[in-house]
Amino acid sequence: ADSHNPQFTDIINQKGTEGQITMTQTPTTVSVSPGQDISLRCSTSQDISLKIVWYQLQAGYSPKLLIKTGDERFDELP
């Protein structure tokens, strides 16, 4: 993706969770034009109460935090 076609992805934070959880995002990546609406869907391999955060990934740029769930402050996030 270039600066005019950013990709969106999600990252799962597994604080305090034992075992492995698989997260599936569909579609895996999306290239969009400025102002274009998109929908991303995520599912997990088991019922979870984890915090999920979404980042915008663009070539040549640091990941940009878009959405986080819950009210926990992630100090390490930009």
User: What was the pLDDT predicted at 14?
Assistant: 47
Reading the block at residue 54, the tokens are 């979404």
Residue 4 DSSP class = T
CA dist 29 and 18 (Å) reads 28
Which pTM does this prediction carry? Answer: 0.46
Q: Please tell me the predicted confidence (pLDDT) of residue 34.
A: 83
Structural domain boundaries in the chain: 7-68
How would you write the pLDDT of the chain (78 residues) with one tens digit per residue?
Answer: 444 455 555 555 444 455 677 888 888 878 888 888 888 787 878 777 666 777 777 889 888 887 776 544 555 444
